[in-house]
A and B are shown apart, each in its own frame.
Chain A
């Protein structure tokens, strides 16, 4: 599993670092003086969360995403809600809570005149959530029938993520993109007998690391004009 994770990240990095700038040139003085001033704010939502809420009986959730550019660096913030509800003859488990992520993306397509984006980034994630587990009639050959009713209320979880993805301008202010997330380093602060099984924003807790995936729709609000870019064609 780890090798797949590493392969993915290396592959994405290779794609990015192999970029060849053959079509656009930014005047040096413009790039140096105003690189850090944001040119716009993107606000969006995760289409997969909405779709899963509609189609899945065990999941409800939504997520809003935003980023703002500082040259090739983007400050990225996500906020969301996530609830699970599993019921079977082996027990009932439900949880719900809110989470946020904050981090930085590094854009490797800095010369794109339409500000399309291929990025690698990092996030810190934090969730506050509650969960509840009811199990009745566990049959153990030695210890007989066992019943459990356990809960955690307003406990916290935090984790880290390595991210990669793309943002592509579709039409005027409409952008689409996806983000793949490699999540790891989960910590939770429960004190009772119930060990969290699912942390909003993170996912299942029984592995050392998990993958996440968002397919996002953005609306970009420009706050200033992007620095002029002189292409090879323009030079001629």
Chain B
């Protein structure tokens, strides 16, 4: 007796049969398990964070806020840093918070917001939480803002997008070193360079005094259609003359692109004056799509690449223990050359040196005077080499350059100098010569 029903052919009865009991228990424990999942999580209960993101009008990218202080409703202060967005705690005991942002340049912006703040009990363990919603901007001093979401968050996100007018005043430059990797692959890499100063010729203002940098941002002259800069490098940036000149030409348009900003000057059609520019190679940079970055943008992008041609005549010498490949440091008193009065590496302690071959000859002789940790008497070693010089265009911007190959030792009275199998000079330099040091 009794009604039977089944699950896909499995008979189950309301009479106390085993299968029905099993099904009942299954459902019961499933419900129990589901209800256990409802335990609240006590972490970060309040959604009282206001997310503000910063942008520049007309730019898809984020703007960087450089703030020294962010004050919230009077005395409450959050110390800020450099950021493209900030999450600020709103006062949930009231329905308004006033925000004052002090920038690194001393300027201030205000943002006053109102909202609904409600409270809800969560659990004995967690206590209560504040629920904020209905966010509105009552007042602000920014160029423009947009309310993205009126519900404050628990930690981040964007509630308000702040836009500022673009300031088309800054050009980006990068310093790069050209080289050939492998046998023929041409490459360039950013080169961190010591700078004495960079002078904007149109204003006389100096930048990057005694700084080391690979990317530079310099102002452009908006009252003219060209800007000239004088670079004074601490190292020679590829040539003996450490002072280089860069001249860029461009078009300046004064138009009202954004209503909030009024008429502004915009710079485009940037190009290098190759006659007055004295860098090895200078060119307009390309974006990831291969398009020329000839428009000055805000935030600033790298518009100009300043490239250093490779030094093709540097042969590398290694000092090592006799009959081993173990390097040995020497205290160099001087390294002199037979074609120049220059003294190289004086006072340095090193295991390798890069020595410039004479570009106007097929032989060069170096005199290396040094001491070692175990021998304080000065030792003089002569490195006399011959080589084959050929002329080739490695980089179009660098013109015809000498290349050096087939190095040979021409004098070796102490039998302590040898040319290695890598006997062609490369860029960057590879070890061509080994000197045994006792």
B124's nearest neighbour on chain A, judged by CB, is: A88
Which of A17-25, A27-35, A72-80, A122-130 is near enough to bind chain B?
A17-25
Q: Provided the pairs A15-B23, A18-B7, A22-B4 are in contact, do residues A206 and B30 lie with their beta carbons within 8 angstroms? A: no
CB distance from A150 to the nearest CB of B (A): 6
A193 within 8 A of B: yes
A23 touches B127 (CB 8 A): no
State which residues 18-77 of B face A: CB under 8 Å. Answer: 23-24, 27-28, 30-31, 33-35, 37-38, 40, 72, 76
In the complex, the answer to whether B31 meets A8 with C-beta atoms within 8 Å is yes
Q: Judge if A91 is at the interface, Cβ distance under 8 Å.
A: yes
Chain B residue contacts of A193, Cβ below 8 A: 117-119
A166 within 8 A of B: yes
**Interface status of B89 (Cβ within 8 A of chain A):** yes
The verdict on A91 contacting B6 (CB below 8 Å), with A8-B27, A112-B14, A193-B118 known, is: no
* B7 touching A4, Cβ below 8 Å: no
The bracket for how many chain A residues form the interface is 35 or more
Which of A44-86 touch B at CB < 8 Å?
A: 58, 86
Residues of B within 8 A of A202 (CB): none
By a CB distance below 8 angstroms, the chain A residues around B11 are 20
Chain A residue numbers with a CB within 8 Å of B127 are 88, 90-91, 135, 138
Known: A90-B128, A204-B38, A210-B38. Contact between A166 and B14, CB under 8 A? Answer: yes
Q: How far is the CA of A140 from the CA of B123 in the complex (A)?
A: 19
In the complex, chain B residues whose CB is within 8 Å of the CB of A223: none
Q: Which residue of A lies closest to B6 (CB)?
A: A18
CB distance from A163 to the nearest CB of B (A): 12
Are A18 and B8 closer than 8 Å at their CB atoms? Answer: yes
Is A1 touching B37 in the complex (CB atoms < 8 A)?
yes
Residues facing B in A148-180 (CB within 8 A) are: 148, 150, 166, 168, 178, 180
Other-chain residue from A87, A91, A140, A180 in contact with B27 (beta carbon distance below 8 A): A180
**B121 touches A (CB below 8 Å):** yes
Complex-state Cα separation, A142 to B130, whole angstroms: 15
**A116 interfacial by beta-carbon distance below 8 Å:** yes
CB distance from B124 to the nearest CB of A (A): 4
Decide if B5 touches A150 in the complex (CB within 8 Å): no
CB pair B8–A116 under 8 Å, yes or no, is no
Residues of chain A within 8 A (CB-CB) of B34 are 1, 4-5, 8, 211
* Whole-angstrom distance between the Cβ of B270 and the nearest chain A Cβ: 47
A4: chain B residues within 8 A (beta carbon) = 30, 33-34
Closest to B46 in A: A140
CB distance from A95 to the nearest CB of B (A): 9
Determine whether the beta carbon of A86 is less than 8 Å from that of B124: yes
Report the minimal beta-carbon distance from B317 to chain A, rounded to whole angstroms. 62
In this complex, how many residues of chain B approach chain A with their Cβ under 8 Å: the count is 44
Interface of B, helix, strand, loop or mixed by DSSP? mixed
Assembled-state Cα–Cα distance A118/B7 (Å): 14
Residues of chain A in range 4-18 having any CB-CB distance to chain B below 8 Å: 4-5, 7-8, 11-12, 14-16, 18
List which A180-198 residues lie within 8 A (CB) of chain B.
180, 193-198
B373 CB–A CB distance under 8 Å: no
By a CB distance below 8 angstroms, the chain A residues around B40 are 206
Residue B261 interfacial (CB < 8 Å): no
Give how many A-B residue pairs fall within 8 Å (CB-CB). 131
Is B161 part of the contact surface with A, judged by Cβ < 8 Å? no
- B89 near A143 with CB under 8 A, answer yes
Which residues of B lie under 8 Å from residue A16 when comparing CB positions?
A: 5
Question: Is B1 an interface residue when CB atoms closer than 8 A count as contact?
Answer: yes
- Assess the A196–B120 pair: CB atoms within 8 A: yes
Shortest distance between the CB of B7 and any CB in chain A (Å): 5
B 270-289 contacts with A by CB, 8 A: none
Q: Does A111 contact B (CB under 8 A)?
A: yes
How far is it, in angstroms, between the C-alpha of A111 and the C-alpha of B4 when the chains are bound? 10
Can you name the residue of chain A whose Cβ is closest to the Cβ of B92? A143
Cβ of B2 under 8 Å from chain A: yes
- Contact partner of A207 (CB less than 8 A), chosen from B23, B38, B121, B128, is B38
Complex interface bits, A88-102 against B, C-beta within 8 A gives 1, otherwise 0: 101101000000000
Contacts A15-B23, A194-B120 given; indicate if A91 touches B128 (C-beta within 8 A).
yes
CA distance A5 to B33 in the complex (A): 11
A90 to chain B minimum Cβ distance, whole angstroms, is 3
Contacts of A116 in B (CB 8 A): 2-3, 14
The reply to whether A146 and B14 contact each other, CB–CB distance below 8 Å, is: no
- Which residue of A has the minimal Cβ distance to B131? A195
A106 interface contact, C-beta 8 A: no
Tell whether A194 pairs with B124 under 8 Å between CB atoms, given A23-B1, A118-B5, A143-B93: no
Query: CB-nearest residue of chain B relative to A112?
Result: B3
Q: In the complex, what residues of B have CB within 8 A of residue A138's CB?
A: 127-128
- Residues of chain A having any CB pair with chain B under 8 Å: 1, 4-5, 7-8, 11-12, 14-16, 18-24, 58, 86-88, 90-91, 93, 108-109, 111-112, 116, 118, 133, 135, 138, 140, 142-143, 146, 148, 150, 166, 168, 178, 180, 193-198, 204-207, 210-211, 213
Of the A-B pairs whose beta carbons lie under 8 Å apart in the complex, a sample of 10, sorted by A's number, is A16-B5, A20-B6, A88-B127, A91-B128, A93-B121, A142-B91, A143-B76, A143-B92, A146-B92, A146-B93
- Chain B residues close to A by CB (< 8 Å): 1-9, 11-12, 14, 23-24, 27-28, 30-31, 33-35, 37-38, 40, 72, 76, 78, 89, 91-93, 117-128, 131
